[in-house]
Structure formats: structure tokens, C-alpha cells
């Protein structure tokens, strides 16, 4: 059996590992456009901040590929999947044949339609090459503007702040981390970072990124201007764009593989074409809380999807039973936070319980529907987050526990005592 | 493969397991030393109503903390079956994804400056884990998962996960 995996990150590596466990004799090939071994994209901010070097970003030991007998085709981009001939076409026109294919190509920075984003010094932060380039620019930079206060933007901002740069974060929405947090939670995190010296401009869109004028270039300056909606002009030598991502689906366009925004898969992670599977940021799966089918670009879900796809590829049917699409843990400076599920209910049909102690950097919020927890935010004290998450996944009735959970007094012991 | 089993009915909440765990993971190896060093136990005796419940890592087969770990530090050793984020080339960065993933609440943040997730490491190098050896009530036992405990684990697992 020839297994081919396109993508060498969370989903791809877990799939290769799982395939090798289930099929000792199968041929496994990983194709990646990046030249080196698998690393953690989540650690790129730590690399930017100078807290980890490149070797320390690797998610597996160096001999991982040899030990698992995985062939590698690195530094070559897969540009097309020919489902009829069961071949993957690479950028140099060479072809790789497969019996079972996993598409785990991930996602890349989606640059918004703002003028001037194509210029030098305007970068996303999605892969090691991006991070290296940012560090190149850093040598001559004093000021950074980060567009977008989502996770990547906030991580990049704090990392470059730690490198001694002046950082300004511009966010269109009225608070930071708008997809994950509500306002009280966001304000605690923002205050923590502001105290350190990061500057925020909220509720402001970016109209244009202007290059250095002829006059400034004459004086050897490279700074760019970030022009906001209201006409304000920020100056920066580095502009980081972190307003969103897009799944890397170009290689399956105009094939039988069904595309929505990401690749559509069934409950076995199989695409519309038999023997072709998809996992990770590129695959659309159903969120167990909201029922919405969408890409879920977070590390744990990519790994789990990679494992499930691999089981099915190896002929051991395993259903994708649904994960929580939105779940994130952060700690930028000193205050940890975990957010999961529906944190900002869209209408009044939800029960919201909240405990807010901003003076102690503490906030807890539970969102319930018919006594089932569908969302939570924990700021400051994140203990037991996984126990609450399990209640959410199981859609357990939390009537007896909800007050205790809110107060931070809940733990797994209550569930054990309930059965013993 | 031996595992740490809990007889809930025998636990009287004396906390000896937690203290012994802290001592075993301190540089001094003593309970007092662990307290001075600020080393926490990795087994937690919680009160559920009026009853004590020891909470510890189950070293899951398909461990959610392993899938959640974005550095590759958290792995299940195929030989020993132990799940740990220590002792590998890949190191923990303290991103707390494992805390978000663990359905038992068995992982904590290490106190102190350096961000590190802390969990039961199964006491490698010891014949019997420190918590089990210290338990005066035989509430913690170290044995093969026999049919009885298998049944109990299934019962416990069906309430969660």
C-alpha cells in the first residue's frame, strides 16, 4: 500500500505515525513545500522572541522519518492532485503515485484587500520562512504595526515587543481576540500587555499601507506608513498582517474533490473522491457545539483529525465524532486564559453566568443552553478547563454543577463520586 | 502493564499521597524539603461533597494531552505506557493546551517563573510510584488492570470523555 501525505505538520506527522503503527509494511511518503523537518507553527512566536532557536521548534526527534520508514519529498510543492490517475503532481512536473492520499496542506495568511500590503516589510506569520524574514527586517527596525488582534497577531506583537521593538496593534473590532473572548476577558489581557508597553488601537480599520516617500528614502529611511480609517498615520519598519487565514486548497481546484472554503470531508475524513482524505486546517469538519461545518485551524484538532484519517486510510474504520472547533489557550505575559465554544452568545436564549474580578485579573464565564454548557472563558485561573470541556463535548446536564464551576470549585471528583 | 488504581471507598483524604509525590519530585527527597522548594504534588485529593477523591493522570491510551501538545514534549512512551512531558528532546513551553484537553484535570501549571505543565510521570526509576507506596489505607494500589478494575474504569470512562 502506498500512502502519500501532502503536508508535514500537525495532521501530517500524526497521520504518518498512526499509519506506521497500523501498517508496518506500507510505503509512506510525506510531501512538503518546506525544506526541513516538521516544526511547530505555534512556537514561531517563541522563535521570534528569541526564546527558542530553530532546532527547538522541531516537534519530533531528528531521526523521526528514518525510524518510521517515511520517505520525504521536501522542498517541492504539490501543485495538483490527479484523482483519476491517482498521482500527485509536483512543481517540477514530477509525479508521486498513491493508493491512499491525505491532504494536510494547512493554511496560509489571508491578506485583506488593502492597498500596499504587497510591499517589502509587510509580512504574515505562518511559517518558518515568514519568521526568518521578520527577524531580518528586525535588524533595521524600531517600530512594528500588527494588523489584527487575533491569536497570531497578539503572539507576534508580544514576541516582537520582547525583542525590544515598539509595537502597536491595530484591531477593527472593539476588543482584542474578538473571536475568542468577550469584552471583560479581553480587557484583562489587554491591560496586562499594556502595562508592559504594547500599544493598542481598537475599532480602527486600515485603509492603506504606504511605502516610504521619495523624501524619506533620500535620507535612507525605510519606514512605511499605516494609514487608518480615520486618517491617522502610524509609522513602522515592519507591518505584520494577522487578519485571518485561508486553507491551502489550490492543488485540488478543478478536481472531483469537493471544495467549500476548505475541503469537504465525510465522517471518516474522506473527501468526495474515494481514497483521498483531508485533515487539519484545510479540512472542514462539524463543530460539536454549534453544528456548524467549517475549518477549525487549531493544533489539537489537526492532530486528532490526522490520526482519524490515518486509521481510515489503513482500513480501520474510525468515525470523527466531533471536536469543539473553537478552543484556545493563551498566556502572553502573566495572565493565562482559555476560551472554548460559544463565548459571546448571539441572542438572549442562552444563560450566562459570569464572575468578574478585574483587580485580581480573574474572570470566569459560562454560557449554557438548557443547562448544557456550550461556551466558557477562564481568565487567570485555568485549572479544570479540560474537565469542563469534557462536560461540553458530552453535552452533560450541568444544572447541579454550574454554580460550583463558576466559582472554580469543580473537579473530576464530583463525577467519580456520582458513579461510585 | 501495571497502573495506579484507586479504591475510592478506602480513601480518607489524608493527603499523604500528595506529600509523598511532592517529596519524590523534590531535589531533597523529603516532604519538608519539597515544601521549602515549593514543589507541588502531582496527585490531587479533592473534596466532592464531604468525600475525598484522589485525582491523578490515567496515562490514557489515546491521550488527549498528547494530541494537544504543540511542541511534541507530551508523548506516551510505547514501552512503559507512561504519558509525560519530561525527559525528551522536545520540551514543554507552558502553552496550557494540555490543561485544556485533559478530561480529568490531572495537569497543573508549575508554580514559579518558568512556564511548565506538570503532571504525574509515573515515577520512572521507582518500583512502586511514591504515592502508592505512601498510601496508608491501600486506597492507591499499583497493579495490572484486572477484570474488576477494567469494569470500574469503563464505568468511570462512560461518565466522561
CA A325 to chain centre: 11
Partner-chain residue, chosen from B98, B100, B160, that has the shortest CB–CB distance to A327: B100
- Can you read off the three cell numbers belonging to residue B56? 491523578
Q: A419 to chain B nearest CA, in Å?
A: 7
pLDDT digits (tens, 9 = 90+) for A69-119: 999 999 999 999 999 999 999 999 999 999 999 999 999 999 999 999 988
Give the CB-side neighbour count of residue A120, counting CA atoms within 13 A. 8
- Quick check: B92 pLDDT over 80? yes
B144 — pLDDT class (breaks 50, 70, 90): confident
Q: Is B51 helix (H, G, I), strand (E, B) or coil?
A: strand
Partner-chain residue, chosen from B96, B109, B160, that has the shortest CB–CB distance to A415: B160
Between chains, do A382 and B100 touch, taking CB under 8 Å as contact?
A: yes
Supply the pLDDT for residue A128.
97
Q: B101 to chain A nearest CA, in Å?
A: 5
Question: Which domains does chain A show, CATH number per domain?
Answer: 2-108+245-313 (3.50.50.60), 122-241 (3.50.50.60), 342-419 (no CATH)
Supply the pLDDT for residue B161.
53
Which chain B residue's Cα is nearest to A388?
B103
- Quick check: A365 pLDDT over 70? yes
Residue A154: CB partners within 8 Å, gap ≥ 6? A146, A169, A176, A177, A189, A193, A330, A332
- Can you read off the three cell numbers belonging to residue A119? 510591499
Q: Is A161 helix (H, G, I), strand (E, B) or coil?
A: helix
Q: Which residues in chain A have their CB less than 8 angstroms from residue B155's CB?
A: 419
Buried b (16+ CB within 10 A) or exposed e, A267-282: eebbbbbeebbbbbbb
DSSP A223-237: -EEEEETTS-EEEES
User: Which pTM value belongs to this model?
Assistant: 0.93
Whole-number Å distance between alpha carbons of A4 and A393? 32
Which chain B residue's Cα is nearest to A305?
B67
Between chains, do B100 and A389 touch, taking CB under 8 Å as contact?
A: yes
Pairing assessment for the beta strands A372-379 and A95-97 based on DSSP bridges:
unpaired
- Can you read off the three cell numbers belonging to residue A81? 492532485
pLDDT digits (tens, 9 = 90+) for B55-82: 999 999 999 999 999 999 999 999 999 9
- Can you read off the three cell numbers belonging to residue B39? 514543589
A224 — pLDDT class (breaks 50, 70, 90): confident
- Which whole-number Å values give the CA distances from A181 to A188, B38, B124, in the listed order? 10, 33, 40
Helices (H), chain B: 16-24, 31-37, 64-68, 97-101, 130-134, 147-159
Question: Which domains does chain B show, CATH number per domain?
Answer: 1-56+123-161 (3.30.70), 59-119 (3.30.70.20)
- Can you read off the three cell numbers belonging to residue A157? 506583537
Supply the pLDDT for residue B133.
97
Between chains, do B46 and A413 touch, taking CB under 8 Å as contact?
A: yes
Whole-number Å distance between alpha carbons of A74 and B9? 56
Q: What ipTM describes this predicted complex?
A: 0.94
Whether the Cβ atoms of residue B143 and residue A403 lie closer than 8 Å to each other = no
Q: What is the mean pLDDT of residues A178-200?
A: 96
Sign of CA dihedral A29, A32, A34, A39: negative
Amino acid at each position: 500500500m502506498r500512502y502519500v501525505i501532502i503536508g508535514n505538520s500537525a495532521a501530517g506527522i500524526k497521520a504518518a505515525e498512526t499509519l506506521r503503527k497500523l501498517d508496518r509494511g506500507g510505503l509512506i511518503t510525506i510531501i512538503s513545500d518546506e525544506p526541513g523537518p516538521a516544526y511547530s507553527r505555534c512556537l514561531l512566536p517563541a522563535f521570534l522572541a528569541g526564546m527558542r532557536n530553530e532546532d527547538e521548534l522541531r516537534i519530533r526527534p531528528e531521526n523521526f522519518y528514518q525510524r518510521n520508514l517515511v520517505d520525504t519529498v521536501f522542498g517541492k510543492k504539490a501543485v495538483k492532485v490527479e484523482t483519476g490517475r491517482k498521482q500527485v503532481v509536483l512543481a517540477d512536473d514530477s509525479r508521486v503515485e498513491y493508493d491512499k492520499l491525505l491532504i494536510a496542506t494547512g493554511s496560509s495568511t489571508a491578506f485583506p484587500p488593502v492597498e500596499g500590503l504587497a510591499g517589502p516589510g509587510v509580512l504574515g506569520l505562518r511559517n518558518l520562512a515568514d519568521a526568518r524574514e521578520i527577524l531580518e527586517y528586525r535588524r533595521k527596525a524600531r517600530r512594528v504595526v500588527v494588523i489584527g488582534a487575533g491569536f497570531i497577531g497578539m503572539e507576534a506583537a508580544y514576541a516582537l515587543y520582547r525583542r525590544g521593538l515598539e509595537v502597536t496593534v491595530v484591531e477593527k473590532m472593539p476588543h482584542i481576540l474578538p473571536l475568542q473572548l468577550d469584552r471583560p476577558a479581553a480587557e484583562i489581557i489587554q491591560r496586562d500587555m499594556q502595562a508592559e508597553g504594547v500599544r493598542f488601537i481598537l475599532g480602527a480599520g486600515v485603509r492603506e499601507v504606504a511605502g516610504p516617500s521619495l523624501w524619506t528614502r533620500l535620507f535612507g529611511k525605510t519606514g512605511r506608513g499605516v494609514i487608518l480609517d480615520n486618517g491617522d498615520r502610524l509609522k513602522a519598519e515592519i507591518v505584520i498582517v494577522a487578519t485571518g487565514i485561508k486553507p491551502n486548497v489550490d492543488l485540488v481546484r478543478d478536481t472531483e474533490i469537493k471544495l467549500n472554503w476548505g475541503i469537504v470531508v465525510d465522517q471518516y475524513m474522506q473527501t468526495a473522491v474515494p481514497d483521498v482524505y483531508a485533515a487539519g486546517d484545510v479540512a472542514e469538519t462539524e463543530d460539536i457545539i454549534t453544528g456548524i461545518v467549517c475549518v477549525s485551524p487549531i493544533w489539537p484538532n489537526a492532530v486528532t483529525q490526522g490520526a482519524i484519517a490515518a486509521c481510515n486510510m489503513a482500513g480501520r474504520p474510525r468515525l470523527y465524532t466531533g471536536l469543539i472547533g473553537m478552543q484556545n489557550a493563551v498566556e502572553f505575559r502573566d495572565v493565562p486564559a482559555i476560551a472554548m465554544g460559544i463565548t459571546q452568545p448571539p441572542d438572549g436564549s442562552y444563560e450566562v453566568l459570569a464572575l468578574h474580578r478585574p483587580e485580581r485579573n480573574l474572570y470566569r464565564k459560562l454560557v449554557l443552553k438548557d443547562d448544557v454548557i456550550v461556551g466558557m472563558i477562564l481568565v487567570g485561573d485555568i485549572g479544570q478547563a479540560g474537565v469542563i470541556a469534557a462536560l461540553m463535548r458530552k453535552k452533560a446536564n450541568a444544572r447541579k454543577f454550574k454554580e460550583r464551576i463558576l466559582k472554580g470549585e469543580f473537579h473530576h471528583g464530583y463525577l467519580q463520586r456520582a458513579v461510585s | 502493564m501495571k497502573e495506579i488504581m484507586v479504591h475510592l471507598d478506602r480513601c480518607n483524604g489524608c493527603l499523604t499521597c500528595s506529600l509523598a509525590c511532592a517529596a519524590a519530585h523534590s531535589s531533597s527527597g523529603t516532604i519538608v524539603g519539597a515544601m521549602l522548594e515549593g514543589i507541588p504534588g502531582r496527585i490531587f485529593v479533592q473534596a466532592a461533597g464531604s468525600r475525598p477523591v484522589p485525582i491523578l493522570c490515567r496515562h490514557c491510551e489515546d491521550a488527549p494531552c498528547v494530541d494537544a501538545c504543540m511542541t511534541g514534549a507530551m508523548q506516551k512512551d510505547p514501552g512503559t505506557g507512561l504519558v509525560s512531558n519530561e525527559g525528551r528532546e522536545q520540551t514543554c513551553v507552558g502553552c496550557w493546551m494540555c490543561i485544556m484537553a485533559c478530561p480529568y484535570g490531572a495537569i497543573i501549571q508549575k508554580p514559579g517563573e518558568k512556564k511548565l505543565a506538570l503532571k504525574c510521570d509515573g515515577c520512572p526509576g521507582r518500583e512502586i510510584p511514591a504515592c502508592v507506596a505512601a498510601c496508608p489505607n491501600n486506597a492507591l494500589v499499583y497493579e495490572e488492570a484486572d477484570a474488576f478494575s477494567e469494569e470500574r474504569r469503563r464505568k468511570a470512562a462512560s461518565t466522561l470523555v
